[in-house]
Amino acid sequence: MSLSKCSFNFVRKRILASPLSVYTNSSRKSGSSSLQANTKKPDWNRAVSEAEKIVGYPTSFLSLRWLLSDEIANVALQLRKLVGSNHPLLKTAKGLLYNGKNNMQAWGLIVLLVSKAAGHSPDIPEMEEDKSAGVLHSQRALAEVTEMIRTSHLVHKGLVNLQPPIKVDAPGDMISGNKIALLSGDYLLSNSCVELANLKNQELVELMSSAVRDLAEAEFVEPRDVQNAPLPAKPKAEARGYNQFVDSNMEPLVVSEALGNARAEWTLRHVLNAGSLLGKSCQGTLKLAGHSYELQQKGYLFGKHLALAWQACLDREPFTPGTVGSFSLISAPVLFTLQHNPEVYTLIEKGLDEIEKVDFEAVRKAVLDGPGLEMTKNLQKDHSKAALDVLNELRDCDARTALRNIIVAVQD
């Protein structure tokens, strides 16, 4: 039994579902893989766990097979030495198991649901199909690759910058923590290389490699503090239209023009950070299924918009009443607030060296006083709608309903 499942069960108990409208599919197929007919609005955890049933079992690569490999045993050994230290790798590791609505397993799940909802070309031999789940074996492998790439990126992001002359209190812990974080991330990345190569589809390899490139690029969008935490760019006076996302998604994105333009900057940062990987994975799975290029492109848009809707939703969380503490300075509410009132940027500037020096409560107040949250809500609506529009072009089936439920669950 996988760890992910445990964490889901654990979390589900804590959630009280709100009794509201329902999005379930009336034309269900078999008993085992059908959605529970219920009268409640799908909350996040139910949407996800029901969706998992549709595609068989959870996709998480954190499976027994993976945990039992020699390399991981080695990592675990090293990791244990870190317990008690304050290396952020431990936080990353915890986040891998459960991290609110952004949990890892959901990414592979989306890819599988898209696979099932779109079906596959009749030319593909029956042997390639996982009959019980209605997806191809190759698509399941791709879903695993998606999770590995994303996890690898998060693990690499969790390194501590020890570039001299930075002094750390416990350099021994930090150095070995970095070593393990770097190697574990590399291990996941190299595993995804091998898994992808096994699929024997070079266009797919190219596509997914470009997603890895985009993730790496995301970490260079300036400005950054000494620990490479991102800060918003100085807001520009006029926000111009911005449409660089129409061309081929194999090309790198132009960065400089978007900075300082709230919506463009937010989109750029998070397409690189998340949208590109989910979009390209959805595109890739349709490629494996033998669908047309047009449909593949729609798959890309679906994944991209879903990831952005997701991000907008996460961005709003720290601004719900009663929340304290730090939050992402490149979240949509902050960026919109800066655009609306450029004077707030003086608060941000204090943290250009270390974001801890930013007065987060002051920024939060500025956000709550301005139109930032409302604009973020609209932003999320736009992306949810764009994702649903793509979904509506697919045939009606349980997987499509599950995807719809997830989008709806993200919305509140």
Window contacting other proteins (CB under 8 A); options: 37-45, 106-114, 153-161, 366-374: 153-161
Q: What is the DSSP code (8-state) at residue 329?
A: T
151 scored as a contact of other proteins (CB under 8 A): no
210 scored as a contact of other proteins (CB under 8 A): yes
CA Rg value for the chain: 21
Dist CA 73 CA 135 (whole Å): 31
Q: What one-letter code names the amino acid at 47?
A: A
Across-strand partners of 136?
A: 129
Dist CA 358 CA 362 (whole Å): 9
- Answer yes or no: are the C-beta atoms of 382 and 367 closer than 8 Å: no
Q: What is the DSSP code (8-state) at residue 130?
A: E
**Token code pair at residue 26:** 């009336």
Please name the residue that has the structure tokens 């998070």. 270
Q: How far is the CB of 46 from other proteins (least distance, A)?
A: 36
193 scored as a contact of other proteins (CB under 8 A): yes
227 scored as a contact of other proteins (CB under 8 A): yes
CB proximity list for 375: less than 8 A, separation 6 or greater? 332, 333, 336
Q: How far is the CB of 218 from other proteins (least distance, A)?
A: 8
Which of 178, 285, 311, 401 is in the footprint of other proteins by CB under 8 A?
A: 178
Alpha helices per DSSP H over 273-330: 276-288, 293-316
Dist CA 36 CA 401 (whole Å): 12
Q: How far is the CB of 325 from other proteins (least distance, A)?
A: 22
Considering only residues 238 through 277, tell me which ones interact with other proteins, judged by CB under 8 A: 252-256
Dist CA 400 CA 351 (whole Å): 44
User: 41-80 mask for other proteins (x: CB under 8 A)?
Assistant: -----------------------------xx--xx--x--
**Token code pair at residue 383:** 């992306």
With H, G, I as helix, E, B as strand and everything else as coil, classify residue 38: coil
Dist CA 26 CA 11 (whole Å): 28
- Answer yes or no: are the C-beta atoms of 389 and 23 closer than 8 Å: no
356 scored as a contact of other proteins (CB under 8 A): no
Q: Which is nearer to other proteins, 196 or 338 (CB)?
A: 196
- Answer yes or no: are the C-beta atoms of 334 and 269 closer than 8 Å: no
Which of 164, 241, 321, 322 is in the footprint of other proteins by CB under 8 A?
A: 164
**Token code pair at residue 359:** 């007065």
Which of 224, 236, 350, 377 is in the footprint of other proteins by CB under 8 A?
A: 224
Task: Count residues near other proteins (CB under 8 A).
Answer: 56
Q: How far is the CB of 235 from other proteins (least distance, A)?
A: 20
Q: How far is the CB of 159 from other proteins (least distance, A)?
A: 5
**Token code pair at residue 185:** 């991330």
154 scored as a contact of other proteins (CB under 8 A): no
Window contacting other proteins (CB under 8 A); options: 101-109, 224-232, 334-342, 403-411: 224-232
Q: How far is the CB of 226 from other proteins (least distance, A)?
A: 7
**Token code pair at residue 203:** 């266009």
Which of 51, 145, 196, 262 is in the footprint of other proteins by CB under 8 A?
A: 196
Considering only residues 291 through 350, tell me which ones interact with other proteins, judged by CB under 8 A: none
90 scored as a contact of other proteins (CB under 8 A): no
Binding residues for other proteins (CB under 8 A):
70-71, 74-75, 78, 152-153, 156-157, 159-164, 175, 178-179, 182-183, 185-187, 189-191, 193-194, 196-198, 200, 202-203, 205-206, 209-210, 212-213, 215-217, 219-222, 224, 226-228, 252-256
